Amino acid sequence: MNGMDILMAVIGSVLVMLFGIFFGLVFKGIDRVLSARMQARIGPRVRQPFWDVGKLFSKENIIPENAVKWMFSSAPVLGLASSAVMLLYLPLGPLAPVLQGHGDIILMLYLLVIPSLAMVTGGFASGSPYAAVGAQREMVMMMSYEFPLAAVVVSIAWKLNVFGIANPFSITSIASNPIWMNSGILGIIGSAILLVVLIIVTPAELSKIPFDAPEAETEIVGGLLAEYSGRNLGIFYLADAVKTIVMGALLVAIFFPWGIAGIVGLAAGSVGAIAADIAFFLLKLFLVLFVSVTVIRTSFARLKIDQIVYTYWAPLTIAALFGLVLIIWDLNLLGIEWYPQVLGGW
């Protein structure tokens, strides 16, 4: 990689980060408005999250006397940085990932854990008993939803491997070969089950109701974030906004990667085609986030931590594995020999 490539990668990284922050805050505003309307309330304006961030960055940054100060202050930065890095591995509509070829979906699974670990670290470092309880809940919840999430990823990569797709764990390969393709009715049902599982995993990744036990304002006064204020709290707020876009973009890349330019007759690679596909990507992004975040958090009350663990370890994990079984049965019905390919490819 020469100097110009490095410069372009840096510029692309900055633009992607700004993209994630801006649209993450926009979605937060839309989410609050729609949730309020679904509950027969007026709600704030869409631009309210931007005001919230501005106000937080203008306030005093208070660090508790008993906190591990360097760890307490570095946790928000780590959370925002790791969330931004994840966006660099994801396709944003027609735009290829900035770090394409330098990581795959297994790396994404590891990176998804880091923002949560940053919050856990900050909670323990604050010296607050409320934050310690929240940190413990966050660790238990992470161990719960990672299993069904991994089951979804393995199921998708397994099918790509059977069809001889190179680099089945590559996000670009997954987006270029949607799981719905080359499937019979059982394969489509299995893929739909995997989609539902990932939709339900999303609010837990983002600590949204009903999976917000680590923060639970009415129980542990904010939990992990109880002692955060000012700039540090604002950075955590931005990290959550960026991670929201990450989860939405991941859902779109796996299950809805299609563009619209070809359908409306725009020439591939033209400015109009790129603009249309970006607009279509944003529409898909907000639709999947509306279903996986807004609808779920508006429709359900907060679950207790033991209920969260049971939900992910029992029903959702079984559902993900059943989706894989349906895909296997579908390949058998289609007459595709998958045994030697799996043994030879893996």
pLDDT band at 342 (very low <50, low <70, confident <90, very high): very low
Q: What is the pLDDT of residues 139-159, one digit of tens each?
A: 888 888 888 888 898 888 888
| Range of the structural domain that residue 284 is part of | 3-345
DSSP result, 165-200: -SSTT-HHHHHHS-TTTT--HHHHHHHHHHHHHHHH
Q: What is the pLDDT of residues 246-267, one digit of tens each?
A: 999 999 999 988 888 777 777 7
Predicted confidence at residue 12, as pLDDT, reads: 81
Name which residue leads in pLDDT, 87 or 227.
87
Q: What is the pLDDT of residues 181-204, one digit of tens each?
A: 877 888 889 999 999 999 999 998
Q: How many domains are there within the chain?
A: 1
Predicted confidence at residue 249, as pLDDT, reads: 92
Predicted confidence at residue 221, as pLDDT, reads: 66
Q: Report whether 138 contacts 305 (CB < 8 A).
A: no
Other Cβ atoms closer than 10 A to 111: 17
**Among 325, 327, 341, 337, which residue's Cα sits nearest to residue 164?**
341
Residue 4 forms beta bridges with which residues?
none
- 3-class state of residue 96 by DSSP: coil
| pTM: predicted TM-score of the whole model, two decimal places | 0.88
Q: Report whether 207 contacts 123 (CB < 8 A).
A: no
To the nearest 10 degrees (0 to 180), the angle between helices 3-38 and 69-87 is 100
Which of 167-171, 175-179, 195-199 ranks highest by mean pLDDT? 195-199
Predicted confidence at residue 128, as pLDDT, reads: 82
> Cβ neighbours of residue 162 under 8 Å, at least 6 residues apart?
331, 336, 338, 341, 342
Predicted confidence at residue 24, as pLDDT, reads: 92
Predicted confidence at residue 300, as pLDDT, reads: 84
Say how far apart CA 265 and CA 229 lie, in whole Å: 51
Average predicted confidence (pLDDT) for the chain: 84
Q: Report whether 180 contacts 191 (CB < 8 A).
A: yes
pLDDT band at 177 (very low <50, low <70, confident <90, very high): confident
CA angle 136, 142, 148 (to 5 degrees): 150
pLDDT band at 287 (very low <50, low <70, confident <90, very high): very high
Name which residue leads in pLDDT, 230 or 266.
230
pLDDT at 4 over 80: no
Predicted confidence at residue 130, as pLDDT, reads: 82
CA angle 233, 236, 237 (to 5 degrees): 85
